[in-house]
Amino acid sequence: MTTKKSKEIFNDSRGYVLFDVLLALFLFSLGFAVLFGLTESAVYESRQAATLMEGANLAQKKLDQLAVHAWHENFAQQACLPGGTVEGNEGRFRWRIVSNWDDSPQLLRVRVEVEWTERGNPVWYKLESLYAVE
């Protein structure tokens, strides 16, 4: 047995339930849009970090290739030219090996510069080392 008053309260609350559902959907959509934006940014930053790591690995690989051979062999093969520059490409990276004699004639300063483009902007990574050349 229901009273007239309880029926009126039940009928009036139907509009509020619909409004509550719509508001909840709106807030859920807003939160999802924010999370999607954060995810997209995180994916871009992850790709950027992976590319930087590739560039750093390429620079280290070039220095390792020089360190494996005797320096007179590197000079003869023109893999490294004291006072000069050796350039090349590997994939989407462009590398450059610049070497100069340091203060002491037996110390060779070798710098590997790796360049690439991200979203139309140039990016570079430089790695430098000193080698004792006899």
> Token pair of 59, please?
């620079």
Residue 112 pLDDT grade (very low, low, confident, very high; cuts 50, 70, 90): very high
Residue whose token pair is 């709106």: 26
Residue 14 pLDDT grade (very low, low, confident, very high; cuts 50, 70, 90): low
pTM: 0.70
pLDDT at 102: 84
Phi, psi of 73 (to 5 degrees): -70, -40
Query: Would the CA dihedral through 48, 53, 59, 61 be positive or negative?
Result: negative
pLDDT at 13: 55
Quick check: 134 pLDDT over 80?
no
- Domains of the chain are 4-132 (2.20.25.110)
pLDDT tens for 38-94 read: 788 888 889 999 999 999 999 999 999 999 999 889 999 999 999 899 999 999 999
pLDDT at 106: 85
Overall size of the chain counted in residues: 134
